[in-house]
Amino acid sequence: MIQLTTFQEEFANLPLNQKIYAEGKFGCGKTTAAIARLNRILENVALGSEILTFIPNRTLAKPYQEAFSSRGVKPQIQTYNGFIQRSLQIFWPIISEKAGFAFPEKPPCFLTIETAQILMARLIESKLEQGYFSALRVPSSRIYNQIMISMHKAAAAEFPFQDYAERMKKSWTGEKSLLQIFDQTQECGEIFKKICYQNNLLDYSIQVEVFQQYLLPLKRYQKWLESSYHHFIYDNVEEDIPAAHHFARVLLKNCQSALIIADHLGGFRSFLGGDPSSAAELKTLCDRQIVFEKTLICSDSIQSMAMCVENPFIAQKDLPGDPKTAYTFHPYHQYPAMIKQAAADVADLIHRQNVLPSDIVIIAPLVSDVLYTSMERELRIQNIPCFIYRPSRPLIGENASKSILTVIALIHPEWGIHPRLLDIVQMLQTIIPNLDPIRGHVLVARAFKEIFNDVQEAVDYEIKAFSEIPSDSRKRIPTSIGLLFDTFRQWILSNKGIEETPDISLSRFFHTVLTKNGFAAGNEGAEELNLGIKKVIESLKKFRVILEHVDQDLLSWKDYFRLVNEGMIAAQYYEDWFLQPENSVLISLASAYAVMNRPVSYQIWLNAGSPRWWERIYGQLTNDIVLSRSWQDGDQWDIQKEYEANNDSMIRQILALLSRCRKQVRVYASELSESGQDQKSRLLYLFADLSYRFGKNKDFMEGIANKLTQEISSDAFYPGIDDKDMNIAGKNEEEILGDESNQFLLEEDGR
């Protein structure tokens, strides 16, 4: 049982008829105190359904799922999207006709981000052929996703999508020739919405709009809310959208008690519509505002480092500890040398200092396949397993799910997805663990022959039995592997062109083939494959629901597999969050780790020289600041606003990472990127400044600062910024504040 601090106990014991707004940095005990208060509420209510607990993402539900009373009463835990889906299903007969759906007597069908992208791709295929979005040099799958996100953000900020193009064009300061893409985006979005209303399909944006415009204003619905929910808890409110905050305002007026919890350093889901400023407005509707100030996680040195980042002019005597011991900085010229040394230092922590692997996280601004492969190899040499977390990665981008999709492609050549021989080798290695790459290539080269299937009218493979391949090749492959291959071959041939849906075929493949001795599902370490199969089956099931709901002429399985192979952005799967083995080191994106709410003792920051630490997630069609409620009509998204947003984002992200670190941050930088290109980052300036002020590697870091100033021209680093102004070493605060040429820099650094 968790031991509460005195402050947390006092918080939990506040009267149960109060509405409280609790805020503070991560690690100050807000959620722990909220759960203690929730347990107290559970002991005083008859039904757990009277308590509504809101979270922005279902992966954050675990702490609340463990809360229950002595009588077994548990709260209702929901995301905003999950709650409005349930509400729309219950009240659908009342609002469907008024909302404008073509078949109000039929039930609604909810689209996921995957099924919505597939439908969008099918509907605007002719538009792309006409040259729409030709000015954008991005894959078509990214265009579908950005159109969907633009509709989501408009609904989240509660402004009509019909205003999207005008809003974006007014803010645009780039090439005039690109203005047409905003009109094209709006046109494609309106085509999508029209078809959805004709078929009772609701994607995320339509769900939010229908709920906010037609259901929430109903007095009947508000009475139902008032009678159903008497206690309301809303954690990580800053990561949710303004539409969710609007709904929270309605609940706050009707509930007996409420608890709103905000993280000062949050806002990492702004690219999905999250709005901390909108969340802060809920403070005025609460009876009490309580600030959690004392961290329960960070050491004094980490706190001191965070204070120095937040306030560059703080005196050392005002710090609780020595910031020099909070971090180490390791610069390298070559990218591979940086990876190798970082892995060696992780091994030293685990093998010599007895740090648990799960108490270490490796963080990078961008976790590419190159970074993961090289880091995984170096850690494997040190006998250290690792686990990578990359949310919403395309199904075709993960080895396990790609292999399973290859199996489906082999039994359904009529769907037009013809796998390469290399993909088949990879698939066989995945399902037959003892098959090495060399023998896998030999087996596939001799057993698979490309043909034209007259029955399916598509390019296909003729697959020979193991006994039919040339004897010289057969001798190189163990008989046990050959028998497993024949089992796989027989299943493929017996299911070629089968009429059942692919999710059912995959379920049978798992139970009749993969669970047999010698195949991957029955071996140790099969978690990744099993999760990959589960994700693919879940994705296929959700698409099957849509196919059963619409006309056959609108969508088909061919559309699904075409878009998956194009790299469609996948949905987020709950299991990814908790799959990490206990004895493994986590590798994650900086922003993804920040929302995991999982503190560790040691953080390894890779590739500190990458500009990705400073650059925000940005899509040409989905500028999250322009599409937010705080954007003023008539403002323009110029270079200064982008600089301000990038700098604020980097500082907030660094502070958020530090708040999740107990002991030390180890920073690694390489002068060259993974592709061999020279790279520089604002993050290097920050560490150069810290080291200069506190005398840590003073000569070396001063050399880096001078080199950055000399080598990075204003055009190369950031247009419009004179890098000479950044050389403020040796000046005191009064001199800097009195120098007008530095005012812009000071504002950006928050000084």
Dist CA 290 CA 20 (whole Å) = 7
Residue with token string 């064009």: 169
Tokens coding 71: 């009588």
Say which range, 79-83, 492-496, 619-623, has the weakest mean pLDDT: 619-623
Structure tokens at 213: 């415009």
Mean of the pLDDT values across residues 288-307?
93
257-263 and 448-453 strand pairing: unpaired
What are the two backbone dihedrals, phi and then psi, of residue 662, each rounded to the nearest 5 degrees?
Answer: -85, -45
Residue whose entry in the numeric block shows the structure tokens 């809303």: 234
Tell me, what DSSP letter sits at residue 236?
Answer: S
Q: Could you tell me whether strands 448-453 and 458-463 are parallel, antiparallel, or unpaired per DSSP bridges?
A: antiparallel
Q: Give the HSE-up count for residue 432: Cα atoms under 13 Å, Cβ half-sphere.
A: 25
Neighbours of 138 (CB within 10 A): 13
Q: Which of 127, 122, 123, 141 is nearest to 181 (CA)?
A: 127
Asked if 11 contacts 31 with a C-beta cutoff of 8 angstroms, the reply is no
CA separation for the pair 739, 725 (Å, rounded)? 10
Sign of CA dihedral 506, 507, 509, 510: positive
Q: Rounded to an integer, what distance in angstroms lies between the CA atom of residue 145 and that of residue 124? A: 12
What pLDDT score does 741 carry?
Answer: 31
Give dist(CA 84, CA 89) in Å, integer. 8
CATH 3.40.50.300 fits 6-83+213-292, yes or no: yes
| SS3 assignment, position 460 | strand
pLDDT category of residue 574 using cuts at 50, 70 and 90: low
Nearest to 331 by CA among 716, 723, 680: 680
The tokens 């299911």 sit on which residue?
495
> And the tokens for 474?
């057969």
Contacts of 192 (CB under 8 A, 6+ apart): 116, 119, 120, 123, 124, 147, 151, 203
d(CA 680, CA 112): 39
pLDDT digits (tens, 9 = 90+) for 251-275: 999 899 999 999 988 888 877 788 9
Two tokens, residue 433: 């663990």
Asked whether the beta carbons of 303 and 268 are under 8 A apart, the reply is: no
**Among candidate residues 608, 716, 611, the one with its CA nearest the CA of residue 670:** 608
Please say whether the beta carbons of 179 and 83 come within 8 A: no
DSSP-derived secondary structure letter, 730: T
Q: What is the pLDDT of residue 493?
A: 94
Task: Please tell me the number of Cα atoms within 13 Å of 185 on its side-chain side.
Answer: 32
- Is the predicted pLDDT of residue 187 greater than 80, yes or no? yes
**Per-residue model confidence (pLDDT) at position 454:** 79
- Locate 372 and state its tokens: 């993961």
Q: How far apart are the first and last CA of the chain?
A: 43
Query: Does 744 score more than 50 pLDDT?
Result: no
pLDDT one-digit tens code per residue, 648-683: 889 999 999 999 999 999 999 999 888 888 888 888
Q: How many CB atoms lie within 10 A of CB 180?
A: 15
> Looking at 167-278, which runs of residues are DSSP E strands?
201-202, 231-234, 257-263
Q: Which residues pair with 462 in a beta bridge?
A: 449
Q: Where are the beta strands (DSSP E) in 454-535?
A: 458-463
Task: Quick: pLDDT tens for 598-627.
Answer: 899 999 999 998 988 888 766 778 888 899
- For residue 575, the model assigns a pLDDT of 54
What are the Cα distances from residue 545, in Å, to 108, 202, 412, 503, 549? 11, 13, 20, 11, 6
Note the pLDDT of residue 431: 93
Please spell the DSSP secondary structure of 296-335, one letter per residue: SS--HHHHHHHHHHH-TT--GGGSSS-GGGGEEEEEESSH
DSSP state of 273: T
**Residue closest to 372 by CA, chosen among 387, 350, 351:** 387
**Given strand 600-605, what is the order of strands in its sheet?**
327-332, 661-670, 600-605, 360-364, 585-589, 386-389
Give the tokens for residue 734.
Answer: 């009064």
Do residues 301 and 321 lie in contact, with contact meaning Cβ atoms separated by under 8 Å?
Answer: yes
Residue whose token pair is 């984002």: 649
Rounded average pLDDT over 89-97: 95
Amino acid 592: pLDDT: 86
Share of the chain above pLDDT 70, in %: 90
With beta carbons less than 8 A apart as the criterion, state whether 54 and 73 touch. Answer: no
Q: Does 333 score more than 70 pLDDT?
A: yes
Tens of pLDDT, residues 640-656: 988 888 888 899 999 99
Instruction: Report how far residue 490's alpha carbon sits from residue 501's, in angstroms, rounded to the nearest whole number.
Output: 19
The answer to whether 96 touches 104, Cβ cutoff 8 Å, is yes
The residue type at 544: R
Mean pLDDT of the 453-462 span: 83
Residue type, 580: Q
Average pLDDT, the chain: 86
Encoding tokens for residue 549?
A: 């709901």
Say if residue 564's pLDDT is above 70.
yes
Look up residue 239 and give its DSSP letter: G
Domain 302-391+580-611+649-719, CATH: 3.40.50.300
Q: Is the per-residue pLDDT at 714 higher than 50?
A: no
Instruction: List the structure tokens of 232.
Output: 């309301």
Q: How confident is the model over 568-579, as a mean pLDDT?
A: 68
Instruction: Write out the two tokens for 23.
Output: 């805020």
Residues composing the chain: 751
Q: Distances from the Cα of 390 to the Cαs of 19, 395, 605, in angstroms?
A: 37, 11, 16
Return the beta strands (E) in 325-369 as ranges.
327-332, 360-364
Top pLDDT among 60 and 161 is at: 161
| pLDDT reported for residue 696 | 63
